[in-house]
A and B are shown apart, each in its own frame.
Chain A
Amino acid sequence: MQKQAIFQSKLLPYALVAPQLAIVLVFFYWPALQAVIQSFLLQDAFGLSTSFVWFENYIDLFKEPAYFEAILRTFFFSFAIAVSSLSFALLLAVMADKPLRGSMLYRTLLIWPYAVAPPVVGVLWIFMLHPSLGVLSRYLRALGIDWNPLLDGDQAAALIILAAAWKQISYNFLFFLAGLQSIPRSVLEAAAIDGARPMRRFWTVTFPLLSPTIFFLLVVNIVYAFFDTFGIIDTMTRGGPGKSTETLVYKVYTDGLLGGNLGSSAAQSVILMFMVIVLTGIQFRFVERKVTY
């Protein structure tokens, strides 16, 4: 945990941590505390008086069907985004892991979408699949699909999931490729000598050895789907039509901004904080395991 060779000084270490500590206290702890306090308060409609209401904001929240729907929707989105993006990225990574000519070029051509910002992803995809001018919408309509994600909630959800999964392919690809390259060749060769065909080799040897990477990526993808999809949703559907693409983060945003219901918005923030803490806790436990193995 600590070095043997150290410096002796009374004030210097405090001066060195001071800038970061100040920023963390003012812009992290103070607002987080405010959110917790706010979530126990109720403000009247004119913002003139506030009263301490214990868990009323939370209870109201869980009585609200829209909140439950938003929770379910967020988990469904996360799951759909994670599964579709992970499986496609794994397929590409397995292919790129083979000794092919130009494999470095393939890697470069597959990782750059990591750098595309979520709102830009939203703009690109709504343009491509816009009901009236989208280039791909013509083909969907030719297939007999009545494509209009601006009016149809299920189609809007599908569009968000596709766009969000698209952005995450490069990230997952990169980590899968690193995971695959760390599998010793000798293990695969042994399986080959035993007569295992490539497909069988993948499912019985590669896939189990890759499971730590898969688990790590699953958590990262869920956190991504919780938070980073905000920009995609905001540029594509604004949570609509109806509330069909409103995730938990998007609801915090709209309830606080438009509704002006700060108590409820704060309670939602606190619940989100808990969810993230649980998710990161799972991730840390896993990371520790990876280190000791």
Chain B
Amino acid sequence: MVEEEGFRRYVAHIILWIGIAIVAFPVYLAFIASTQDNAVIANGQMSLLPGGHFFETYYQTIFVGTSGSTREPVGNMMLNSLVMALLIAVGKIAISIISAYAIVYFRFPFRMPIFWLIFITLMLPVEVRIYPTYKIVADLHMLDSYAGLSLPLIASATATLLFRQFFMTVPDELLEASRIDGAGPFRFFWDTLLPLSRTNMAALFVILFILGWNQYLWPLLITTRDDMQTIQVGIRKMITTTDALTEWPIVMATAVLAMLPPVFVVVVMQKLFVRGLVETEK
């Protein structure tokens, strides 16, 4: 029998709590700093307990922004991030599910070459082709737009592969049955395949939303207007000024606000998140 004696069990609990502390401490610190006075923080005299500036700091962060480097209210940045993340997640799922449907359920000339054209995109992240992509987006007049923020990030094959794999496991009898009922390709897709794919779509959505919300290099390059910047870009601009002028409570409040939506998604939709993560990595 593999039984754990009491002592070993205690050790396990202790190690896990140390791990949790290491993982949580930087975030705890950020929250504490966001409730304290900037002068105290700048002196290096910050206490490790919450201060009394919570409402004041978060109000200023969300509705006003910093008084220095970037004067954009963080609320607006969050809106930009939200729109970008949703466009990436929904756009990718939508175009992927229909192309996977075509590749699995139809036989047509150039089917395999098209599949490979899509498949190869899996290999290269946007980081290795940033400047040429930037130039194309600029030529298409899509700088500082939601389309420019999201379209280049939609160009990848993960979701297509996932749906293709899933469709292959759907029994052929289902298609035959709905054919007997007189259903065409649209009806079958809408009434049979889509409801079956619901869990896969949800899991994928969770992962893509987090990845979209956390994008950094691409938005950094193609947004020049302050009112188009995402929260990840905005937070870096807040600490560009010389240290003495950095408004740390606001920076830290922004960090907390930037973490809130994706962390919420991971914690609340944990099952879907784990499923999506494991499946997109396969």
Asked if B131 and A276 sit within 8 Å, CB to CB, the answer is no
Pairs across A and B, CB under 8 Å, 30 listed = A5-B179, A6-B105, A7-B105, A13-B108, A19-B99, A20-B98, A21-B99, A27-B137, A28-B124, A28-B129, A30-B132, A98-B4, A100-B13, A106-B20, A116-B262, A119-B235, A123-B235, A123-B255, A124-B26, A124-B255, A133-B41, A138-B44, A170-B23, A178-B278, A227-B127, A231-B216, A231-B232, A234-B236, A273-B124, A276-B124
Segment at the interface with B among A67-75, A152-160, A262-270: A262-270
Asked if A117 and B30 sit within 8 Å, CB to CB, the answer is no
Segment at the interface with B among A43-51, A54-62, A249-257: A249-257
Asked if B105 and A28 sit within 8 Å, CB to CB, the answer is no
A40 at the interface (CB under 8 A from B): no
Q: Could you tell me the distance between the alpha carbons of A121 and B102 in the complex, rounded to whole angstroms?
A: 41
Which residues of A lie under 8 Å from residue B235 when comparing CB positions? 119-120, 123, 235
Chain B contact surface mostly: helix
Asked if A276 and B248 sit within 8 Å, CB to CB, the answer is no
Residue of A100, A113, A128 touching B9 (CB-CB under 8 A): A100
A208 at the interface (CB under 8 A from B): no
Asked if A3 and B104 sit within 8 Å, CB to CB, the answer is yes
Asked if A16 and B213 sit within 8 Å, CB to CB, the answer is no
CB nearest neighbor in A for B167: A3
Asked if B129 and A32 sit within 8 Å, CB to CB, the answer is yes
A contact residues vs B (CB 8 Å cutoff) = 2-7, 9-10, 12-14, 16-17, 19-21, 23-32, 34-35, 38, 88, 91-92, 95-96, 98-100, 106, 108-128, 130, 132-135, 137-138, 166, 169-171, 174-175, 178, 185, 188-189, 192, 198, 201, 216, 220, 227, 230-231, 234-235, 249, 252-253, 256, 262, 265-266, 269, 272-273, 276-277, 280, 287
B202 at the interface (CB under 8 A from A): no
B contact residues vs A (CB 8 Å cutoff) = 1-2, 4, 8-9, 11-13, 15-16, 19-20, 22-27, 29-30, 33, 41-44, 46, 48, 94-96, 98-99, 101-108, 111, 114, 117-118, 121-125, 127-133, 135-137, 151-152, 154-157, 160, 167-168, 172, 175-176, 179, 184-185, 188, 210, 213-214, 216-217, 220, 232-233, 235-236, 239, 243, 248, 251-252, 255, 258-259, 262-263, 265-267, 270, 273-274, 277-278, 281-282
Which residues of B lie under 8 Å from residue A32 when comparing CB positions? 124, 129, 132
Which residues of B lie under 8 Å from residue A185 when comparing CB positions? 2
Asked if A230 and B217 sit within 8 Å, CB to CB, the answer is yes
Which residues of A lie under 8 Å from residue B278 when comparing CB positions? 175, 178
Q: Could you tell me the distance between the alpha carbons of A190 and B6 in the complex, rounded to whole angstroms?
A: 22
Task: Using known A-B contacts A6-B105, A27-B155, determine if residue A17 contacts B2 with beta carbons closer than 8 Å.
Answer: no
Asked if B255 and A28 sit within 8 Å, CB to CB, the answer is no
What are the 10 tightest A-B residue pairs by CB atom distance, in nearest-first order? Answer: A115-B262, A31-B132, A117-B214, A16-B102, A34-B132, A13-B106, A13-B102, A124-B26, A231-B216, A5-B172
Asked if B118 and A266 sit within 8 Å, CB to CB, the answer is no
Residue of B129, B214, B281 touching A269 (CB-CB under 8 A): B129
Asked if B239 and A116 sit within 8 Å, CB to CB, the answer is no
CB nearest neighbor in A for B46: A135
Which residues of A lie under 8 Å from residue B13 when comparing CB positions? 100
CB nearest neighbor in A for B266: A115
Asked if B105 and A266 sit within 8 Å, CB to CB, the answer is no
Asked if A38 and B132 sit within 8 Å, CB to CB, the answer is yes
Asked if B1 and A192 sit within 8 Å, CB to CB, the answer is yes
CB nearest neighbor in B for A19: B95
**Cβ of A89 to closest chain B Cβ, rounded Å:** 9
Q: Could you tell me the distance between the alpha carbons of A231 and B188 in the complex, rounded to whole angstroms?
A: 44
Q: Could you tell me the distance between the alpha carbons of A3 and B129 in the complex, rounded to whole angstroms?
A: 36
Asked if B265 and A115 sit within 8 Å, CB to CB, the answer is yes
Asked if B176 and A5 sit within 8 Å, CB to CB, the answer is yes
Q: Could you tell me the distance between the alpha carbons of A121 and B65 in the complex, rounded to whole angstroms?
A: 21
Residue of A24, A31, A92, A166 touching B26 (CB-CB under 8 A): A166
Q: Give the interface centre of A27, A98, A124, A220 by most chain B CB atoms within 10 Å.
A: A27
Beyond the given A12-B185, A123-B235, A123-B251, please list 6 additional residue pairs across the A-B interface where CB-CB is below 8 A: A4-B172, A7-B184, A28-B129, A106-B20, A220-B281, A230-B216
Asked if A92 and B19 sit within 8 Å, CB to CB, the answer is yes
Which residues of B lie under 8 Å from residue A9 when comparing CB positions? 106, 108, 185
Asked if B16 and A106 sit within 8 Å, CB to CB, the answer is yes
Which residues of A lie under 8 Å from residue B267 when comparing CB positions? 108, 112
Task: Using known A-B contacts A3-B104, A100-B13, A287-B282, determine if residue A269 contacts B131 with beta carbons closer than 8 Å.
Answer: yes
Q: Give the interface centre of B118, B132, B274 by most chain A CB atoms within 10 Å.
A: B132
